[in-house]
Every structure is written in C-alpha cells, then in structure tokens.
Amino acid sequence: MGGMLHVYYGDGVGKTTRSIGLLIRAAGAGKKVFFMQFMKDEGSSEVSILKKIPGIEYQCTGTLGFIFERKPTRDEKELALNGLEKCMDASSGEFDIVIADEALNALGKGLIGEEGLMSLIDGRKKDVELVLTGRPCPESILKKSDYATEFKMVKHPHMKGKKARKGIDY
C-alpha cells in the first residue's frame, strides 16, 4: 500500500501529542521513527523520554525565539531549511516514519517554502509514512493527504491569561 501522508493541523491543542502517540505505537511495533521538531528547542517535556525509546531518532531545528508578528531572520530560515533537509534525508528509506512536527507552522511563517515541503512529500521513498503538524495547512497539502485531522480550539486556559504549564502544555 505504501507510506501515507498524515496532516494534523488547526488552532487547537494536541497535534504534537497525536504525532507522539503515533510515534510510540510505531516504535512498539518495531518501526524506526525520525522525529523532527521545527521552531522548537529541546525544552519540551516529552524530549527527554523520546530520546530513551529504542528506534526513535529525535532532532529539533532549534529556535531563536518566538515568531509572531515579525518577519523571520535569515538564521531562523537556515535552521528550518536544515531541518527540512534532514527530514528529506530521513525519508529516503532509513526510517519507516518521518514526523515533521510544526513544519506547517514553519511554512506559514515563511521559514520554508511550499515547494520545499512538497519536495519532502513527493520525494520520500514510497513506503515511508510522513506526518506533518502545525496550525495552517494549504489546500495543496490537504489534497495530497491520506489522513487529515483538524484540531479546533474551543476553550483553553490561555484565553483567561493562564501561562503554559510544564508537563501539561509543554
């Protein structure tokens, strides 16, 4: 049947968590997983445990701070492009599953181009499963997806000014 494309997108929480659930399931089945986090550093609580699970290779692009309304810097673009290149290498067949966490956000913020993400999608070895997460998702990627799940924000403590909590939100 070949590897499929999973897209987890939207403004709700749980996209990374869903991809980590898939990663654990795959590792439990003896599959090799490459997990790249775009626009993040190694400060999220799941990282320490992911590095201990056999069959999982964790990497992150690193970050120079949050990008909200400002334009990304050249260094930030280089970090993201390097992450995309590593995902492309991983999808050439060494791994069964490649997860590009927050790659859709990197696309939405202009750190990587849609052409680059399409190259990852179309250029991967045919039996490699690919997972993309992030808030925005262009129609062109949705059309190529086999699994597409939109996460919708209904209610969240940050709406009341609450700060993110370690071990719960990150």
Taking only the tens place, the pLDDT of each residue in 61-116 is 987 666 767 788 899 999 999 999 999 999 998 999 999 999 999 999 999 999 99
With beta carbons less than 8 A apart as the criterion, state whether 84 and 59 touch: no
Kindly state the helix (H) or strand (E) to which residue 132 belongs, with its residue range.
Answer: strand 129-134
Q: How many whole angstroms from its chain centre is CA 146?
A: 16
First to last CA, the chain: 35
Q: Is pLDDT at 140 greater than 90 in this prediction?
A: yes
Residue 64 lies in a domain: yes
Q: Residue 110 carries which DSSP code?
A: T
Average of per-residue pLDDT across 151-157: 92
Number of domains in the chain: 1
- Give the CATH number for residue 124: 3.40.50.300
Residue 37 lies in a domain: yes
Highest average pLDDT, of 65-79, 118-132, 151-165, comes from 118-132
Q: Residue 9 carries which DSSP code?
A: E
Residue 169 lies in a domain: no
Residue 9 lies in domain: 5-160
d(CA 52, CA 83): 21
What is the per-residue pLDDT for 1? 66
Residue 140 lies in a domain: yes
Residue 29 lies in a domain: yes
The tokens for 109 are 């913020």
23-65 confidence digits (pLDDT tens): 999 999 999 999 999 988 888 889 999 999 999 999 999 876 6
Residue 150 lies in a domain: yes
Q: Residue 157 carries which DSSP code?
A: G
Lowest average pLDDT, out of 38-42, 93-97, 122-126, 141-145, goes to 38-42
> In the chain, helix, strand, coil percent, each to 5?
35, 20, 45
pTM over the 0.75 mark: yes
DSSP, collapsed to helix, strand or coil, labels residue 96 as coil
Residue appearing with tokens 């969240």 = 156
